Homo-oligomer: A and B are copies of this chain.
Amino acid sequence: MTTLTSFGIISSELRQVEQKLLESVPEEIPELASVVRSLILAGGKRLRPALVFLSGSINSPDHEKLLNAAVAVELLHTATLIHDDTIDQADVRRGIATANSIFGPGVVILLGDFLFAKAAHYAAMTSDPEAIDLFAKVLMVIVDGELRQSLGKHNGVPSEEEYYRRIYAKTAALFECCTETGAILSKAPEPHRRALTTYGKKLGLAFQIIDDLLDFTSTEQIGKPAGNDIRQGTITLPVILFLQSAAVGDPRAEHVKAVISGLSKDYDGAIDIIKSSGALEKARDKAAALIEEAKAALLVLPNSDSREAMMEIAQFTLERTL
- List residues of chain A with CB under 8 Å of any chain B CB: 26, 29, 31-32, 83, 86-88, 105-107, 109-114, 116-118, 120-121, 123-125, 127-129, 132-133, 135-137, 139-140, 142-144, 146-148, 150-151
Bound-complex Cα distance A301 to B133 (A): 33
Q: Quick one: which of A116, A120, A148, A151 has the most chain B CB within 10 A?
A: A120
Contact yes or no, A140 B124, CB < 8 A: no
Contact yes or no, A139 B124, CB < 8 A: no
CB within 8 A of A86: which of B26, B109, B140? B109
Counting every copy of the chain, the complex holds 2
Set of chain B residues within 8 Å of A146, measured between Cβ atoms: 110, 113
CB within 8 A of A150: which of B107, B118, B133, B144? B107
Contact yes or no, A117 B140, CB < 8 A: yes
Contact yes or no, B150 A114, CB < 8 A: no
Set of chain B residues within 8 Å of A143, measured between Cβ atoms: 110, 113-114, 116-117
Contact yes or no, A132 B124, CB < 8 A: yes
Bound-complex Cα distance A88 to B112 (A): 16
Set of chain B residues within 8 Å of A26, measured between Cβ atoms: 144, 147
Contact yes or no, B139 A117, CB < 8 A: yes
Contact yes or no, A29 B113, CB < 8 A: no
